[in-house]
Structure 1
Amino acid sequence: MKNRLLDTFSLHYEKEEYETVVATISRGVVFRGTNLWILIFAIFVASLGLNVNSTAVIIGAMLISPLMGPIMGIGLSLGINDIPLLRKSIYNFLVATLVALVTSTVFFLISPLNDAHSEILARTSPTIYDVLIALFGGLAGIIATSTKQKGNVIPGVAIATALMPPLCTAGYGLATFRFSFFFGSFYLFVINTVFIALATLLTVRLLQFPHSPIKEGSTGKMARRITWIVVVITLLPSVYFGYDMVQRNRFEKEAARFITAEAHFTNDYLLSKKIDAKNKSIVLVFGGKEISPLEIGMIEMQLQKYDLKNAKLEIKQGFAYLAETQGVKQDAQLTLLTQALEEKEKNQQALQIQLDSVKNNRALSEKLFAELKTQYNSIKSAIIEPSVIHTSDSTDQRTFLVLLTTSTGLSKPAQKKIESWLRVRLDGRPVSLVVKQQVQL
Structure 2
Amino acid sequence: MPLRLIEIILPRDSAPIVEQLQNFGSVLDRWDDQLNDGKVTVQLLVHAGNAEAMLDELEERFSHFADFRIILVPIEGTLPRPVEPDDESSNGHPKSPERISREEIYSDVCEGARISRTFLAQAVLATVVASVGLTRDDNAVIIGAMVIAPLLGPNISLCLATTLGDTKLAITSLKANAAGMSVALALSLLLATVFVVDPELPAIQSRTQVSGGDILLALASGCAGVLAFTSGAPTALIGVMVAVAILPPFVVFGLMVGSGDFDAARGAFLLVATNVICVNLAGVLTFAAQGLRPRVWWEAERAKNAMRLSVGIWVTLLAVLIFLIYQASLE
2:281–2:314 CA contact under 8 A, matched in 1: no
Alignment of 1:90-105 (within 5 A): 90-105=174-189
1:64 Cα deviation (Å)? 1.3
- Cα distance, 1:241 vs. partner? 3.4
State the partner residue of 1:286.
none
Query: Deviations for 1:186-213, whole angstroms, at most 9, x for unmatched residues?
Result: 1211111111112221121112112223
Report the Cα offset of residue 225 of structure 1.
2.4
Is the 2:97–2:291 contact (alpha carbons within 8 Å) kept by the matching residues of 1?
A: no
Whether 1:179 and 2:266 are equivalent positions in the alignment is: no
CA offset digits 1:36-72 (Å, max 9, x no partner)? 1011111100011110111111111100122111100
Give the 3 Å change call, closer, same or farther, for CA 87–240 of structure 1 in structure 2.
closer
Give the distance between the partners of 2:326 and 2:231, measured in 1 at CA: 34
Deviations, residues 126-179 of structure 1 (Å, cap 9, x unaligned): 12211111110011111111013x163200000001212111110111111111
What is the rounded CA distance, in whole Å, between the counterparts of 1:232 and 1:51 in structure 2?
35
1:143 maps onto 2:227 in alignment:
yes
- 1:413-424 equivalent positions in 2, closer than 5 A: none
Q: Does 1:159 align with 2:242?
A: yes
Asked if residue 81 in structure 1 is aligned to residue 165 in structure 2, the reply is yes
SS in 2 for 1:109: coil
Q: 1:209 aligns with which of 286, 292, 295?
A: 292
Gaps of 5+ in 1: 1-6, 246-277, 280-441
Distance (whole Å) between structure 1 residues aligned to residue 216 and residue 134 of structure 2? 24
Correspondence 1:250-265 to 2 at 5 A: none
- Give the residue type in structure 1 aligned to 2:129: V
Matched residue SS, 1:110 = coil
Matches of 1:173 and 1:137, distance apart in 2 = 26
Q: Distance in 1 between matches of 2:196 and 2:261?
A: 16
AA of the residue aligned to 1:184: G
Where do residues 22-171 of structure 1 align in structure 2 (5 Å cutoff)?
Answer: 22-148=106-232, 150=233, 152-171=235-254
Question: Partner amino acid for 1:142?
Answer: V
Rg larger for: 1
Q: Whose relative contact order is higher, 1 or 2, with alpha carbons under 8 Å and at least 6 apart?
A: 2
User: CA offset at residue 224 of structure 1?
Assistant: 4.5
TM-score by length of 2: 0.65
What one-letter code is carried by the residue in structure 1 that aligns with 2:135? Answer: N
How many residue pairs end up in the alignment? 235
1:84 to partner: Cα distance: 0.8
Is residue 128–residue 239 contact of structure 1 (8 Å, CA) maintained in 2?
A: no
Local SS of the residue matching 2:153: helix
Indicate if the aligned counterparts of 1:214 and 1:220 stay in contact, CA closer than 8 A. Answer: yes
Residue pairs, 1:347-358, within 5 angstroms: none
CA contact (8 A) 1:129 1:242 kept: no
Unaligned runs of 5+ residues in structure 2 are 1-86, 88-94
Counterpart residue type for residue 300 of structure 2? P
- SS of equivalent residue, structure 1 residue 87: helix
Gap change, CA 1:189 and 1:88, over 3 Å in 2: same
Alignment of 1:296-315 (within 5 A): none
1:193 to 265, 273, 276: 276
Partner Cα separation in structure 1 for residue 281 and residue 311 of structure 2:
8
Deviation at 1:87, TM superposition (A): 0.9
TM-score, length-scaled by structure 1: 0.49
